[in-house]
Structure 1
Amino acid sequence: MIRIMLADDHAILREGIRAILSQQPGMQVVGEAGNGQVLLELLATTPANVVLMDVNMPVLDGFATINLLRSRFPEVRVLVLSMLDHESYVYRMLQAGALGYVLKNSDTTEITYAIRTVAAGRQFLCTEIGLNLLYRSVQHQSVAPEAAEALSAYRMSLHRNDAIELSGREMEVLKLIAEGLTNAEIAEQLFASKRTIETHRQNIIEKTQAKNTAALIRYAMSHGLIE
Structure 2
Amino acid sequence: MIRVLLTDDHTILRDGIRALLTLQPDLEVVGEAGNGQELLSLLEHTSADVVLMDCNMPVMDGFTTMGYLREQYPALRVLVLSMLDHENYVHRMLEAGAHGYVLKNADITEISHGIRTVAAGRPFLCTELGLDMLNKLVRTTVAVSEGSRLKTGDLSKRELEVLHLIAEGLTNAEIADQLFTSKRTIETHRQNIIEKTQTKNTAALIKFAVSNGLLGQ
Give the structure-1-normalised TM-score. 0.62
Give the structure 1 partner of residue 155 of structure 2.
none
**Aligned mates of 1:65, 1:42 — CA distance in 2:** 13
Q: State the Cα distance separating 1:138 from its structure 2 match.
A: 1.6
Instruction: Give the 3-state SS of the residue equivalent to 2:25 in structure 1.
Output: coil
Give the structure 2 partner of residue 120 of structure 1.
120
Instruction: Give the 3-state SS of the residue equivalent to 1:142 in structure 2.
Output: helix
Q: State the Cα distance separating 1:61 from its structure 2 match.
A: 0.3
Give the structure 1 partner of residue 17 of structure 2.
17
Give the structure 1 partner of residue 74 of structure 2.
74
Residue identity matched to 1:49:
D
Give the structure 2 partner of residue 4 of structure 1.
4
Residues 40-74 of structure 1: CA deviation (Å, up to 9, x unaligned): 00011100000000010001000000110110111
Residue identity matched to 1:66:
M
Instruction: Give the 3-state SS of the residue equivalent to 1:128 in structure 2.
Output: helix
Give the structure 1 partner of residue 99 of structure 2.
99
Pairing of 1:1-227 with structure 2 (within 5 A): 1-142=1-142
Give the structure 2 partner of residue 199 of structure 1.
none
**Aligned mates of 2:103, 2:42 — CA distance in 1:** 24
Instruction: Give the 3-state SS of the residue equivalent to 2:5 in structure 1.
Output: strand
**Aligned mates of 1:86, 1:139 — CA distance in 2:** 16
Q: How many residues align?
A: 143
**Aligned mates of 2:59, 2:108 — CA distance in 1:** 29
Instruction: Give the 3-state SS of the residue equivalent to 1:46 in structure 2.
Output: coil
Residue identity matched to 1:60:
M
**Aligned mates of 1:19, 1:115 — CA distance in 2:** 15
% identity of equivalent residues: 66
**Aligned mates of 1:11, 1:142 — CA distance in 2:** 44
**Aligned mates of 2:116, 2:23 — CA distance in 1:** 14
Residues 83-109 of structure 1: CA deviation (Å, up to 9, x unaligned): 000000001111111110000000111
Residues 97-146 of structure 1: CA deviation (Å, up to 9, x unaligned): 11100000001111100000010010000000001101111221128xxx
Give 4+ residue runs of structure 1 displaced > 2 Å after superposition: none
**Aligned mates of 1:77, 1:140 — CA distance in 2:** 32
**Aligned mates of 1:77, 1:16 — CA distance in 2:** 21
Give the structure-2-normalised TM-score. 0.65
**Aligned mates of 2:124, 2:19 — CA distance in 1:** 22
- CA RMSD between the two structures: 0.9
Residue identity matched to 2:61:
D
Instruction: Give the 3-state SS of the residue equivalent to 1:55 in structure 2.
Output: coil
Residue identity matched to 2:43:
L
